[in-house]
Amino acid sequence: MAAWLVRRAARRVAGELRGRGPGPWSLSSSTVPVLGVPAVDQSRAFCSVRRFAGDSAAAAAVEEPENGLAASGLQCVDFPGGKLSFVGEMNFLPESQTERINCYRVLDDDGGTIYNSRFQEVSKDLALKMYSNMVTLQIMDTIFYEAQRQGRISFYLTSNGEEAINIASAAALSAQDIVLPQYREPGVLLWRGFTPQEFANQLFGNKLDYGKGRQMPIHYGSNRLNYFTVSSPIATQLPQAVGAAYSLKMDKKKACAITYFGDGGTSEGDFHAALNFAAVAEAPMIFFCRNNGWAISTPTAEQFRSDGVVTRGQAYGIRSIRLDGNDTLAVYSAVHTAREMAITEGRPILIEAMTYRVGHHSTSDDSTKYRPADEMEHWRTARDPVSRYRKWVQGNGWWCGTQESQLRNNVRQELLQAIQVAERMPKHGLAELFTDVYDQIPSNLRQQERSLLDTIKRHPAEYPADVPV
């Protein structure tokens, strides 16, 4: 009886549909409504998915044949998400392309521009500022790394081999663009005006540290410079960056958000969630992946089987490019263009910068345990982005050996002076451990504060004397 009722209901529904004409699933023409385009037949668009076309996106109606056949003669249907053509052959997509995605490059290993290369022109002043910042970042890493080895700070992490990524990408942005870093991008903050003294204050956690000594060293941040504070968990900043970019879009700001991450970050779920979020929301942002070959001790060969990271952008409907991360002009040109596309077209862009982490992962790591020392030395010398860019600057007649010596001496003296000042600066008081979270400190935190003070009184020798109680 139940089966008979089901068949009867099905026949009645089928008759009603025939009376109404072709439905959205029929192999005939249908018009998908598009923002800004008058609807032709809204009743036939029930199962059609309309992609949000923001103010900057081009919306256009697509003319479709009346007989439901594609231009190739294949039948097609408008599934939710878009129109598809049918084929009779069962074809599985291959696991990878036959050829790897090419890598965009402007400068060769000797600092000369590659014939017919297309890149964004830079003025003499901009070129020299970029170079001086790269040298400053390089020296800063050396001095602060040595300070950690001397026991003067507890932790440090270098950007050796990735100076071009830091400085050139920062130079292509505007001050209004929002930066959500990982932890190997202090050069972006340096370019924006963060001084050596501010870096030293954070590393020593003194009274002038904006984080009030609560963060571990190298977790820089600056509201003034639109640079979000570094956070240790990997890739958590990616979906947050999409939200920041979308807020810029809602406010109709001529700015974008950019987030940096390593190849290891692409193995986190937040990476995939962020790319899909950005693509669907059409957020004006740049995903910048520093593919330096190593996620601490894990090589990329053990992280993914795809052709690096750049191919993943297309899977989420994101325009993408792979470039030589040790090429200053390539990085600058790509980020400059990506920023323009992100803002004017209202879209996310994925950049994969191929590079190599020359230094150890951090001062807590000894990378000679998992990779050959001669490989590290080869990248430190033969493929150094700073030396390569200097050759191009010198080739233009903009730089000489005397300027080089003077710059390095001045930067070194400024950094050593900054360390001395930061070391002598008093620390924040103990009470700052419990502030800046709640407007009114709750009773459980008050109890923790009293317990801590009691512990210090009972064990004064175990508490650092330079921190006010």
Residue positions annotated with a catalytic role: 146, 232, 361-362
Hey, is 203 helix, strand or coil?
A: helix
Q: Let me know: does 180 contact 237? Beta carbons within 8 Å.
A: yes
Give the separation between CA 265 and CA 464, rounded to whole angstroms.
36
What single string gives the DSSP state of each residue in 24-81? TTSSS------TTS--S-GGG-TTPPPPP--TTS---PPP--TTSB-TTS-BEEEETT
Burial class (CB in 10 A: 0-12, 13-18, 19+), 71: exposed
Q: Where are the alpha helices (DSSP H) in 262-400?
A: 269-281, 310-315, 328-345, 373-381, 385-395
Give the separation between CA 29 and CA 66, rounded to whole angstroms.
5
Tokens of 9: 């209901």
With both helix axes pointing from N to C terminus, report the angle between 269-281 and 237-250 in degrees, rounded to the nearest 10.
10
Q: Position of tokens 């904006």?
A: 210
Q: Where are the alpha helices (DSSP H) in 80-155?
A: 124-149
Tokens of 294: 């190593």
Cα four-point dihedral sign 245, 247, 248, 252: positive
Beta carbons within 10 angstroms of residue 421's beta carbon: 15
Beta carbons within 10 angstroms of residue 391's beta carbon: 16
Show the CA angle centred on residue 286, arms to residues 282 and 287, nearest 5°: 105
How many C-alpha atoms does 81 have within 13 Å on its Cβ side? 3
What secondary structure letter does DSSP report for 289?
A: E
